């Protein structure tokens, strides 16, 4: 059965690469889109947690800020092999971003299109669009864990106590 073990290892490695860099591509693409059109204004306006940002910033400034944050997080996640600490920062940023967007599932009108036998059926926009973030936040938690693990391994190999990794 060594063929199955090899297949399992290769498949898991492919999954890790696709998950990490797929997350980076999705973040960068969504971030770039914020420079062209603001697709999350209606989501933010209805959020009790975030609607205040329009009292402080213009719609364009919010869009550019979110887009830039997403692009920076994507770039940081992608540097994992060389700089796991920076990658961990990008993953943590991504988790915060997706916590915000997942909160919109509960605050945005029109998320539930109808009910079928008591089961809520999500609308395509914004319901199903937001639901994908549940998987993406899971990938972000995984990339954070992998980056933290690499940092811990790096600390051991450098004979540096793990408690001193704050610098």
Structure-token pair, residue 78 = 């992608």
Residues 6 or more apart whose CB falls under 8 angstroms from that of 38 comprise: 59, 60, 62, 63
pLDDT tens digits for range 117-138: 989 898 888 888 899 999 999 9
Residue 155 pLDDT: 67
Give me the mean pLDDT over the 8-15 stretch.
95
Helix (H), strand (E), coil (C) string for the chain: CHHHHHHHHHHHHHHHHHHHHHHHHHHHHHHHHHHHCCCCHHHHHCCCCCCCHHHHCCHHHHHHHHHHHHHHHHHHHHCCCCCHHHHHHHHHHHHHHHHHHHHHHHHCCCCEEEEECCEEEECHHHHHHHHHHHHHHHHHHHHHHHHHHHHHHHHHHCCCCHHHCCC
Q: 167 vs 93, which has greater pLDDT?
A: 93
Interhelix angle 129-157/84-107, rounded to 10 degrees, is 160
Give pTM, 2 decimals. 0.85
């Amino acid at each position: 059965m060594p063929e199955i073990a090899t297949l399992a290892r290769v498949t898991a490695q492919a999954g890790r690469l696709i998950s990490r860099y797929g997350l980076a591509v999705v973040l960068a693409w969504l971030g770039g889109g914020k420079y062209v059109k603001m697709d999350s204004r209606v989501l933010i306006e209805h959020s009790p947690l975030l609607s205040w940002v329009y009292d402080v910033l213009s719609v364009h400034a919010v869009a550019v800020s979110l887009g830039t944050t997403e692009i920076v997080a994507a770039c940081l996640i992608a540097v994992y092999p060389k700089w796991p600490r920076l990658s961990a920062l990008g993953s943590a940023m991504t988790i915060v971003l997706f916590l915000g967007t997942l909160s919109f599932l509960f605050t945005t009108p029109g998320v539930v299109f109808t009910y079928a036998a008591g089961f809520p059926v999500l609308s395509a926009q914004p319901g199903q669009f937001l639901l994908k973030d549940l998987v993406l936040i899971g990938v972000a938690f995984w990339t954070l864990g992998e980056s933290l693990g690499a940092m811990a391994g790096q600390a051991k190999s450098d004979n540096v106590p793990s408690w001193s990794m704050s610098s």
